Amino acid sequence: VKYTLNNKSDVDISVFSINGQKIMTLVNQYSIANSNNQSYDVSNLLNGVYLVRFSDGTNFYNRKFIVKK
């Protein structure tokens, strides 16, 4: 997951099933303004389509990703 913050803010990055069920939280912390690039192990997820939701306290962004083993 790669993201850039222009201002200090509370960051929440979570993974949801396609049905909207929260599966896991990847990041939930106060972050300073900078670029971030973090890797996460999603090998415990079943094959399927998931959403990653990024929130910086003001904006929300969703990205779809597919797990295929």
Q: What is the signed CA dihedral for 29, 23, 1, 62, rounded to 10 degrees?
A: -100
> What pLDDT is stored for residue 20 in this prediction?
94
Burial class (CB in 10 A: 0-12, 13-18, 19+), 59: exposed
pTM comes to 0.82
**What is the residue type of 57?**
G
* pLDDT score of 41: 85
pLDDT 10s digits, 23-43 = 999 989 888 878 777 788 888
Please give the share of the chain, as a percent, with pLDDT higher than 70: 100
The confidence score (pLDDT) of residue 4 equals: 80
